[in-house]
Amino acid sequence: MNRIYLDHAATTPMRPEVLEAMLPYLREQYGNPSSIYTEGREARKALDRARDRIAKVLGASSPREIIFTSGGSEADNLAIKGAAFALKNKGNHIITSAIEHHAVYDTCRYLEKHGFKVTLVPVDSYGIVDPAAVEAALTPETILVSIMHANNEIGTIQPIAEISKILRERGILFHTDAVQTVGHIPVDVDELGVDMLSLSAHKFYGPKGVGALYVRKGIRLHPLIHGGGQEQNRRAGTENVAGIVGMAEALVLAAGEMGEEAPRQRELRDRLIQGILARIPHTRLNGHPEKRLPGNVSVCFEYIEGEALLLNLDMQGIAASSGSACTSGSLEPSHVLLALGLPHEIAHGSLRLTLGRGTTAAEIDAVLEVLPGIVEKLRQMSPLYDANAGCKAH
Amino acid sequence: MNRIYLDHAATTPMRPEVLEAMLPYLREQYGNPSSIYTEGREARKALDRARDRIAKVLGASSPREIIFTSGGSEADNLAIKGAAFALKNKGNHIITSAIEHHAVYDTCRYLEKHGFKVTLVPVDSYGIVDPAAVEAALTPETILVSIMHANNEIGTIQPIAEISKILRERGILFHTDAVQTVGHIPVDVDELGVDMLSLSAHKFYGPKGVGALYVRKGIRLHPLIHGGGQEQNRRAGTENVAGIVGMAEALVLAAGEMGEEAPRQRELRDRLIQGILARIPHTRLNGHPEKRLPGNVSVCFEYIEGEALLLNLDMQGIAASSGSACTSGSLEPSHVLLALGLPHEIAHGSLRLTLGRGTTAAEIDAVLEVLPGIVEKLRQMSPLYDANAGCKAH
Amino acid sequence: MYSEKVMDHFTNPRNVGEIPDADGVGVEGNPVCGDIMKLWIKVEDGRIVDARFKTFGCGAAIATSSMITEMVKGKTIEEALQITNTAVAEALDGLPPVKMHCSNLAADALRKAIDDYLAKQKGAESSNG
Amino acid sequence: MYSEKVMDHFTNPRNVGEIPDADGVGVEGNPVCGDIMKLWIKVEDGRIVDARFKTFGCGAAIATSSMITEMVKGKTIEEALQITNTAVAEALDGLPPVKMHCSNLAADALRKAIDDYLAKQKGAESSNG
Ligand SMILES: Cc1ncc(COP(=O)(O)O)c(C=O)c1O
Ligand SMILES: Cc1ncc(COP(=O)(O)O)c(C=O)c1O
């Protein structure tokens, strides 16, 4: 059976060109970039080139503004802990949104144990942060704001440039988690006006376990990983040379194709959304209809639970995701869906389908073929669903 | 020109078998291990298997005691910061040695800014930590001791099991940085009696950017990287599946060959040490003659500076390393060499040659052929050296 | 993640549906927590002759529901009361640790259905007596 | 890391050695810091006709030593005093930022050698006078 992979927000298949670019560094080019002899200098050159390519795509003013990390989570942790501890004499207040990824959310929660105060700015029912709400949350103690560029579950794209205008005026540090946007929609650090920006290679057809943090020149950060002097003393550890080279290759390729690929995915996305809403009653779209990632479809089916849905889809050859609590073993469904104002029992019935480079119209149609039957089968099994009335039983 | 790579302590070439094991996870097996559908479960299985293999080699009692990290530095940081912050209500004193890698040393220094007190236990002229000195440094506030298994510069192997006996009795947490020993000499967490142990794949012919921390069951750690629930909530971030699979493969292979490879390297090492000492006057061996890593040769040549030596060796096709300050741009030579009691000007003239799987007797002989001439050439250029008297000019 | 048995019961759940003239009904769980199970039993001569369920929940919740209805059929009330959640999990060749609460759900729903049956019996007895 | 010029001067350093009957000698640096340079000059008619050095130090230290001896030869004392450390670094097509202190070393050693020469001149003049 041909599988249909619709979980590109979780991870993407690595492009063959990326592997090709990495292979020399997994074979004969094994030098340590910190070494001064030939092998080391070759590795250093490869790092420098990768840094340069990434800086250019992001519109950074210097490659020195790119710090390589082990992924998006580390980049988020470095940005937030690094800035908070570096600025703790200036203030102790951090603002973030209610729908951040756990790498931001849990990091902020951790900082609360270290004496920081955290304000979670709410979102509207589309999942959008109101820049005025950020402004209203500012206090004289505010040292850092972290608002994600686009949400990983519901795909909503935030008004980062508007928020940055407010913060720039006041000289408050602004970080954005752009793990879901880099390589998919245009991301330019100057246009966004951010001071720090996280990205992760495996979200744009690069390798897993490698990412980067953009840090605008002049910003002080405490390192998260202390040790050797790598990454200008900002991130110790022998560099994952092959992974970094792969990340740069993947990013350059993604940036080059974006102009064609984003509209293509948007069209497929809308076809899928409309198909689902037309065929399956008691279904809601999560997130904003237009201000959303080109590849993101997120819906809630009433009366059923997400994990059961995913398993059924998997058996039909379709890989998808859910904000269902049962995929993680907790009882609380996704904090993102709850932040939209969805009731718990509906948030449990969420399905996320995220499209990618390889996604075809035929795949979308195959999903639309299969999905209604699965939903109906589970609803028939659900004590909350009255099949005949076609509505809630109690 | 055939290069002679003698810097295996810095990094090792990846074994072809390791790349072979990784390739499926860089190609078609791209699932995210946190996903519940087929692709995700396959990736999860690969992680589980790798964890299991690594646990077995280290003698861990359960694979759950292995936490994957992005390398040795992250493992050291996680162990030390994680334990220190988790135990800060019990005490604030940490003991470490004067010759730790920067990933331990700088981490301890950082913790001093967070209210911890750090004692650096000295070493003798061979670089060995006296267990009695660790005992003497204990205070009622001591919560953590971190002593490396073997030193990366001078190769000295520490009496970890003896130290752990002292600490076990008192219930004090004991971490060892085993980045230089894992895969090279036997490392068994129970025989060593340690509670935490760091390792890094690229030091034993695995990939760069992946490592692990062994954490004995029941030990609480604050995560270094917060976020998703990966690694039992102890280390967030999408796992570097390919890298982890490669690390396990490399470790199993290294453990299997160690019985033959370690004595082979020891013999070559001693041939190189004796050859250097016999041919080049005013030369000292750094570290202990027997209690040293099978592949480590570390010497100081009086009257000359390490970087100049490395560059000359490089031009002769030999890749080597130095604890010279000038390789890092600082004025202080290696804290390790200074801790041995070497005067600064002599510590500047250090050379480290570290052997590996591919090192041959012919290579050792080629080095012995070339090295005396280079040293002599640099000495002739040195204002500290009186060529005719063959001794210090002033 | 799930055993083959779990996947089998999840994919082809046995005894889905309602028993209109059931002798006992039990509901356990809470849609807010993402799990709710409703279980109907039919009892003849102190023996459970039929059991049906409807479940809103994850794969494990559906599989445990299916399994427990299979397990109780043919059992006396006394025997059925012996069915523990561990027994359900074992019958499914185990459940992932994070899913163990789903087997609680099934055992508790069964107990409630039996309680309901016993309460009705008592009611019938006392109205008969 | 290093430019080709640096590597050339490092590999084939010009003017290594001492000048036994030098007119000026300068020493700069400190072996404790890993860098020490000694520079000899021979002066005829106010013009530096020969310069030699010995250096304990890294690649950059050796290359700057070699380069500065080349640069001063044939220059008048006044011209030689104009040689800045930036000029030495530039003549080598640049040095890595962490190595810039090595060019200071060379310029300072030269200045000391010239000072030594000038002091000796003064001594000679005053004993003549
Ligand atoms: C003893 C020791 N500890 C820690 C490290 C750091 O490991 P990594 O570079 O993988 O972060 C190294 C090597 O660089 C090492 O030799
Ligand atoms: C928005 C967002 N931030 C952070 C991360 C974490 O990235 P990584 O898994 O590479 O650590 C992810 C993906 O998992 C994400 O979607």
Residue spans of chain A under pLDDT 50: 390-394
Closest CA to C36 of C54, C22, C12: C54
Average pLDDT over residues C3-16: 96
User: How far from chain centre, in Å, is Cα B127?
Assistant: 15
- Judgement on whether residues B243 and B278 belong to the same structural domain of the protein: no
Assess whether pLDDT exceeds 80 at residue B388.
no
Chain A positions touching C35 (Cβ under 8 A) are 305, 326
Q: For chain C, what is the total number of helices (H) and then of strands (E)?
A: 5, 3
Query: Is the distance from the beta carbon of residue A177 to the nearest atom of ligand 2 less than 6 Å?
Result: yes
List the domain range (segments joined by +) for residue B310: 4-10+258-393
Q: Which of C1, C11, C98, C99 should be substituted to probe chain B, the one whose Cβ sees the most B Cβ atoms within 10 Å?
A: C1
* Distance of alpha carbon A215 from alpha carbon A67, whole angstroms: 7
User: Does the active-site annotation cover D58?
Assistant: no
When divided into structural domains, chain B yields a total of 2
- Judgement on whether residues A194 and A301 belong to the same structural domain of the protein: no
Task: Count interface pairs A-C at CB distance under 8 A.
Answer: 74
Instruction: Report the SS3 class of residue A113.
Output: helix
Confidence at B394, pLDDT banded by 50, 70, 90: very low
CATH number of the domain encompassing residue B312: 3.90.1150.10
Instruction: Name the residues of C annotated as catalytic.
Output: 33, 102
* Distance of alpha carbon B15 from alpha carbon B12, whole angstroms: 9
Determine contact: B331 vs chain D, CB below 8 A: yes
- Judgement on whether residues B199 and B174 belong to the same structural domain of the protein: yes
Q: For residue A391, what pLDDT is reported? A: 45
- Judgement on whether residues A91 and A156 belong to the same structural domain of the protein: yes
Q: Give the torsion through C-alpha atoms of A176, A181, A185, A190, to 10 deg.
A: 20
For B362, half-sphere exposure in the C-beta direction (CA atoms, 13 angstrom radius) is 4
Determine contact: B47 vs chain C, CB below 8 A: no
Assess whether pLDDT exceeds 70 at residue D128.
no
D2 to chain A, minimum CA–CA distance in Å?
10
From B184-193, D64-73, D119-128, the region with the lowest mean pLDDT: D119-128
Tens digit of each residue's pLDDT (9 = 90 or more) over A349-364: 999 999 999 999 999 9
Q: Give rounded-to-5 percent helix, strand, coil for chain C.
A: 55, 20, 25
Nearest chain D residue to A44 by CA distance is: D1
State the pairing for strand pair B318-319/B4-5. parallel
Nearest chain D residue to B304 by CA distance is: D56
State the pairing for strand pair B211-215/B66-69. antiparallel
| A194: number of Cβ within 10 Å | 28
Query: Is the distance from the beta carbon of residue A237 to the nearest atom of ligand 1 less than 6 Å?
Result: yes
Tens digit of each residue's pLDDT (9 = 90 or more) over D55-114: 999 999 999 999 999 999 999 999 999 999 999 999 999 999 888 888 889 999 999 999
* Distance of alpha carbon D78 from alpha carbon D101, whole angstroms: 24
- Judgement on whether residues A227 and A263 belong to the same structural domain of the protein: no
Identify the domain boundary among A203, A236, A253: A253
Chain C positions touching A311 (Cβ under 8 A) are 2, 7, 10, 59
CATH number of the domain encompassing residue B148: 3.40.640.10
A21 touches A46 (CB < 8 A): no
- Judgement on whether residues B134 and B93 belong to the same structural domain of the protein: yes
Q: For residue C61, what pLDDT is reported? A: 94
Identify the domain boundary among A225, A253, A281: A253
Q: Do chains C and D touch (3 or more CB pairs under 8 A)?
A: no
A379 touches A391 (CB < 8 A): no
Assess whether pLDDT exceeds 70 at residue B279.
yes
Count of positions (residues) in chain D:
129
B270 touches B138 (CB < 8 A): no
Nearest chain D residue to A45 by CA distance is: D1
Among A14, A73, A147, A292, the mutation site with the greatest number of ligand 2 atoms within 8 A of its Cβ is A73
Tens digit of each residue's pLDDT (9 = 90 or more) over B376-385: 999 999 999 9
Q: For residue B225, what pLDDT is reported? A: 98
D54 to chain B, minimum CA–CA distance in Å?
5
Chain B positions touching C1 (Cβ under 8 A) are 36, 41, 44
Assess whether pLDDT exceeds 90 at residue B22.
yes
- The pTM of this model reads 0.95
* Distance of alpha carbon B303 from alpha carbon A158, whole angstroms: 62
- Judgement on whether residues B263 and B214 belong to the same structural domain of the protein: no
Chain D positions touching B326 (Cβ under 8 A) are 34-35, 57-61
Closest CA to A151 of A174, A131, A127: A127
For tokens 């021979």, the residue is: D42
- Judgement on whether residues B276 and B155 belong to the same structural domain of the protein: no
- Contacts for D128 with CB less than 8 Å, ≥ 6 apart: none
Maximum CA pair distance of chain B?
A: 77
- Judgement on whether residues A219 and A317 belong to the same structural domain of the protein: no
Closest CA to B327 of B7, B109, B74: B7
Strand partners, A386: A391
Indicate which ligand has the atom closest to the C-alpha of A236: 1
Among B152, B154, B251, the mutation site with the greatest number of ligand 1 atoms within 8 A of its Cβ is B152
Average pLDDT over residues B192-217: 98
* Distance of alpha carbon D2 from alpha carbon D95, whole angstroms: 7
Identify the domain boundary among B253, B275, B291: B253
- Judgement on whether residues B79 and B208 belong to the same structural domain of the protein: yes
Which one is predicted more confidently, B239 or D128?
B239
- Look up residue A307 and give its two tokens: 């994990």
The residue ranges of DSSP E strands in chain A, in sequence order, are 4-5, 66-69, 93-97, 117-121, 142-146, 173-177, 196-200, 211-215, 283-285, 296-301, 318-319, 350-354, 385-386, 391-392
- Look up residue B60 and give its two tokens: 């861990």
- Judgement on whether residues A224 and A271 belong to the same structural domain of the protein: no
- Judgement on whether residues B249 and B270 belong to the same structural domain of the protein: no
Which one is predicted more confidently, B1 or B334?
B334
Q: For residue B1, what pLDDT is reported? A: 64
From B147-151, C6-10, C102-106, the region with the lowest mean pLDDT: C102-106
Average pLDDT over residues B144-157: 98
B210 Cα to the center of ligand 1, angstroms: 11
Closest CA to D4 of D84, D53, D63, D45: D63
Q: For residue A389, what pLDDT is reported? A: 55
